[in-house]
Structure 1
Amino acid sequence: MKRNSYLAATVVAGVIGSAGMAQAQAQDKPTIAVVAKVGGIPWFNAMEQGIEEMGDELGVDAYMVGPTSADPALQVRAVEDLIARGVDVIGVVPNDREVLEPVLKKARDQGIIVLTHESPDSENIDYDFEMISAQQLGEEHARLLADTTGCEGSYAVYVGGLNVPAHNAWADAAVQWLDANCPDMKQAADRFGVAESVDDSRNTTLDLIRAHPDLAGIMSFGSQGTIGAARAVKERGLAGEIKVMGLFSPGQGRRLVHEGVITGGFQWSPLEAGKAFVALGDRLYDGGEIADGDDLPVLGEVRLDGHTLYASKPLELNEETVDELAELGL
C-alpha cells in the first residue's frame, strides 16, 4: 500500500486506522514504517521513493511518515502512533536524538525492531546505518572549501538543528580539518541550525553578508540550507565570490550549480537510504545477523562499529554530475 508521506504526526493514527493493524499483525512479512525529519521536501521525497520501491521488490508493506515540520516532538508522536499500530520495524531519521530515546526504548521493549539513519550515537536501537562516515563527509567538504577559497576569509556552517546528531558530526569533522589545515581561516560565527529551511538559511546568509565583508564560504550540512544560502548569495550578486557548498537535492539545486552559485558538495543518495531502511529491516525481521565486513543489500560492504553500520557510498555533486543525478530523481 502506498501512502502520502506528507502527514502531520498529530493525525497519523487516524489516517492509518484499523486496516493497518491487521497488516502489522501478519507474520509472513513485516510492516516497516520510516519517520522522516520533515515531509514534502525533495530529499525525503526521494527517500520515500526508495522505501516504496524496495517494499514492492521484497513484498513488504513499507511506507514513510513525514511530519509537517522538523519538530522533534512531532517525531515522538509519530513513533508513538506506530507503536500503537504494532508495526514490526520502525525507522527514524532523528531531528533530536535525545528527545527520541525514551520512545525508541518503548518501541524496543515491545519487540519492535528500531533502525536509525544519520544518528550513530542513538542508544535505544538495533542498528543505525550511515551511507558514508561522518569523518569522510565532513572532510570532503572542508577540502572543497579550502581549494575554492585558498583558505582566505571567514566561513559559516549550517546544520539542520543544533541537536541533529549526524549534521553536527559532519560539521565537527569539517571544522577540525580546517583548523588543522587552514589555521588562518576562522568561522564568522557559531554554527546555525537553519539547514532544514530555505527561508531561514536565506535570511541567515543575508545577515552574515551584511555583518562579515570577508565571508568567503558557507558549508551546509542539511539539504535546504545549501539552497537558501545560494539564493541569498545570488540576490546580492556574489555568485562565485562566496562559495556555497553542502548537501542538496540535485533536482532542486542544479540550476544554481550551473549558474555558478552552488560550488558543489558531497552526499549520498536518499533514494538508496530509503531502500536500505527496508532491506535492513526485512533482514533483521527474518532473524538475519550482521557482522563487520558483511556485504549487505544496498549498503554493500559495511564496517560495524558498535551498532552503527558504515557504508561508503559518496556522491559528488558538481556541474558534471548534477544533471544525471537529478534525472535519477534525487
Structure 2
Amino acid sequence: MKKKFSSGIAIIFLIAAALLVFSGLPGCSNYAQTIITMSTAIESTTATTMVPAAPATEETAQEEKIPANFELVYIPKIDVPWFDVVQKGIEQCARDYGFKVTVTAPPKLDPAIQAQIVLDLIGKTADAVIVCPIEEASMDIALQKASSAGIMTFGSEGSNLKNISYDFESISNESFGQAIMQSAIKYSGNSGSYAVSVGFLSSAAQNEWADAEIALQKQSAPGMVNILGYSKGTDRFEDNEDQAIALTKITEIITANPDLKLIVGNSMTSGPAAGEAIKKQKLKGKLFYVGTGLPLTAGGYIKDNIIQEAFFWDPYLTGYSLGFMAFKAWEGKPLIKGDAVTLPGGAKLAGYETLTEGTGTAGAKVIYGNAAVSVNKENMDSWYKKFEEYGWPQF
C-alpha cells in the first residue's frame, strides 16, 4: 500500500510569473498551463526500462514494506551514455534489493516534457520518483503535484529543488573543488602561476568548485598565484562549454603569461582544449592541466603525458546510490548524516561510506557522498576496462 511521504513541514510554492527560466520556453505565468495541457503520449518517444522484482504472492502483496511492492521511477535529463550508466547502477540496486524501477528519459532537453513525465505518474503505481532536472524552478511545479498525490519525490543534481524529500549528490561541490586543487598543487610543486576555467559564470556547481579551488590555494599553497587575481567573478575565465572557444582563450592566456604553469579546468571542454594548446605550443612538461574530465575526453592526452589528471564521479555508483536512497526512504529509514550506502551483504559502497548533509538553496535537505575519483597515467587502463564493462567504451 502506498502512503504519502511527508517531511512534516508544509511546502509553500511561489511562482514568479514574469521569470523566463529556460531559453525558448514561455514564462512561468503560462508554464503551469503548458505542462498540464501537453499531450501525455510521451511514453512512446522516451527510453523506458523496467527491472521486475521477484513476484510477490497474494498473501505478501497485501503487506506493507515488502520490497516487491516498491515501485521507483528515475527520470534523467536525456538519454545519453552518462545516464545510461546511471541507469545500469540503479537497475542493479533494484535487483539486489528486490524492488521495481522504471527509467524514463525525455527525448530531448526540454523541461516541459520532463515535467510532463512526472505529472503522468500521478494516479498510477509509482511510489517514488527521482529527477535529475533539466531546469529546477519549473520542475518544482510538477514535483509539488506529485508529492501532493502521495508520490515520494527526490532530486539528483537538483540541490536547488524545493518540493522534494531531499536531494542526493555524489559529491559536495566544496570537496570536489578541493580534490582538484590538491592534485593541482602536487603537479605544480606549490609554485608558479595558474588560471581557472568554468563553462559559464552562471554555472552554479562549476563556480562552487572554482571557489573551493581558489580558497584552498590561498590557504595551502601560497607559492602559487592566480594570474587572473582574486576578485570573485574575474578570478576565472569562461569557455562557454565549447572546445574551440576554450582553446582560443587558453591560447590567449598563455601568450599573455608565458610563464603560466598550470590550468585548472572545471568544464568538460577545458581538458581537451588545454591538451591541444600544450601540444601545439610544445609546452609538454612545462604547462600542466588538472581538472574535470573523463577517460573519453582526457585519456589520450594523459597517455601522452600532455595533461595530468581528470576528475569525475562514477555514474554507475551514482545510480546504485540513488536506488538505495529511495528504497530506504520508502522503508521508513531515510538516509541521514553518518549513514552509508550498502550492498545487501553489508559492504559499503566506495565513496559513500559516510554520508554528509547540507541544505539546498531552496531549503531542502541534501545528502552528499564523497565519491570524487580521477583518471591519471597510473589508473587509466583500469578505468578504460571499467567503462567498457559499463557498456560505454572510452577509447
TM band (smaller chain): 0.7 to 0.9
Counterpart residue number, 2:245 = 203
- The correspondence for 2:101, drawn from 61, 64, 81, is 61
| 2:238 matches 1:192 | yes
Deviation at residue 211 of structure 1 after TM alignment: 4.7
Deviation at residue 102 of structure 1 after TM alignment: 3.6
Residue 280 of structure 1 aligns with an amino acid whose one-letter code is M
Partners of 2:70 and 2:111 in 1: CA distance: 25
Partners of 1:162 and 1:67 in 2: CA distance: 28
Counterpart residue number, 2:353 = 300
Superposition TM-score, scaled by structure 2 size: 0.65
- Indicate if the aligned counterparts of 1:155 and 1:218 stay in contact, CA closer than 8 A: yes
Partners of 2:93 and 2:139 in 1: CA distance: 26
| 2:376 matches 1:318 | yes
- Indicate if the aligned counterparts of 1:89 and 1:113 stay in contact, CA closer than 8 A: yes
| 2:124 matches 1:84 | no
Aligned pairs for 1:38-187 (under 5 A) are 38-40=78-80, 42-57=81-96, 58-65=98-105, 68-69=108-109, 74-86=110-122, 87-94=126-133, 96-98=135-137, 100-149=139-188, 150-159=190-199, 161-180=200-219, 181-182=221-222, 184-187=225-228
- The correspondence for 1:249, drawn from 294, 297, 304, is 294
Deviation at residue 78 of structure 1 after TM alignment: 0.9
Partners of 2:135 and 2:227 in 1: CA distance: 27
Which shows bigger deviation, 148-157 or 256-265?
Answer: 148-157
Counterpart residue number, 2:17 = none
Number of matched residues? 306
Cα–Cα, structure 1 residues 268 and 84, in superposed 2: closer, same or farther, change >3 Å?
A: same
- Indicate if the aligned counterparts of 2:299 and 2:375 stay in contact, CA closer than 8 A: no
Deviation at residue 293 of structure 1 after TM alignment: 1.8
Q: Where do 5+ consecutive residues of structure 2 fail to align?
A: 1-37, 52-60, 62-67, 343-348, 360-364, 391-395
Residue 201 of structure 1 aligns with an amino acid whose one-letter code is Q
Question: Deviation digits for residues 187-223 of structure 1, max 9, x if unmatched?
Answer: 385442634xxxx134322233135422543333344
Superposition TM-score, scaled by structure 1 size: 0.77
Deviation at residue 280 of structure 1 after TM alignment: 1.4
| 2:76 matches 1:35 | yes
- Indicate if the aligned counterparts of 1:48 and 1:64 stay in contact, CA closer than 8 A: no
Question: Deviation digits for residues 213-235 of structure 1, max 9, x if unmatched?
Answer: 22543333344543444345435
| Aligned-pair Cα RMSD in Å | 3.5
Question: Deviation digits for residues 157-194 of structure 1, max 9, x if unmatched?
Answer: 224x5444433322221122234444632338544263
3-state SS of paired residue (1:260) = coil
- Indicate if the aligned counterparts of 2:239 and 2:249 stay in contact, CA closer than 8 A: no
Partners of 1:229 and 1:136 in 2: CA distance: 23
Residue 314 of structure 1 aligns with an amino acid whose one-letter code is A
Cα–Cα, structure 1 residues 264 and 191, in superposed 2: closer, same or farther, change >3 Å?
A: same
- Indicate if the aligned counterparts of 1:233 and 1:261 stay in contact, CA closer than 8 A: yes
More helix by share: 1
Question: Deviation digits for residues 46-103 of structure 1, max 9, x if unmatched?
Answer: 323323333343341232526645xxxx234313223223344332334554454444
- Indicate if the aligned counterparts of 1:131 and 1:312 stay in contact, CA closer than 8 A: yes
Partners of 2:202 and 2:135 in 1: CA distance: 5
3-state SS of paired residue (2:247) = helix
Partners of 1:96 and 1:171 in 2: CA distance: 22
